[in-house]
Structure 1
Amino acid sequence: SLMDPPSVEGWHTGKEWIDGGTLMERINFASKLVSDPSAPGVQELVGRLQEQGASSPEDLVDAALDFAGPLVVSDNTREALLAAASEGGALSFDGDEAIEATGQRAAQALRLVIASPEYQFA
């Protein structure tokens, strides 16, 4: 708890205070916030993508990284994000169904970004 630090020194800073359980709690909490495609943050990201005329999986990844940070990630993380974003092909904003699908993909991209080590240790 907040009022019960791990030692008399108080709360540690940096990576040393994050263990596997704490990391999972952080990821699960943040994932819940962006899991709903109708959530305001996800809709803001979809709006930005639409305004920019974004259509590629790369555009989605770049926008999600910028929205969550801006955040710079390793090549391995970027490749994993691109692989996931590429599964749905190009983004589309033609009609309600397409916009809803893009919202679901944006939510997934944000979940993956916030689960990345670069985000968690930023």
Structure 2
Amino acid sequence: MSIAARALPVESAGNPVLALQQHLQHKGRGELAAAVTLPARPGVFAPLPDELHPGLKQALQARGIERLYSHQAQAWAVARSDQDLLIATPTASGKSLCYNLPVLQSALEQRSKALYLFPTKAL
């Protein structure tokens, strides 16, 4: 029987990650060696770049994005200076804006095209 099909504790019903952790800690057979919960940290923000195309600013603001995370602003600056860039941040930290904003900006400024290549399998 899969973990998803088993009854999970009520307190973890809304959080599948917590449910799996609790299952492995309490009913697992040594599958979980350790679990560490890190405290939340406040985000570090930067204003939207002044040179960002007005249409992009408007689209971001329409989605409630009034500022960038610091890593997004740093990625913008590096990408706009034609340097290579490597981003490594946790899941759901906004990496997509790190590459999409410069690509969209270039498309709007120069009527350029972009080709996105992604692996079809997780590494």
TM range (shorter): under 0.3
Structure with more of its chain in helix, by fraction: 1
TM-score, normalised via structure 2 length: 0.28
TM-score, normalised via structure 1 length: 0.28
Bigger relative contact order, structure 1 or 2 (CA pairs below 8 A, ≥6 apart): 1
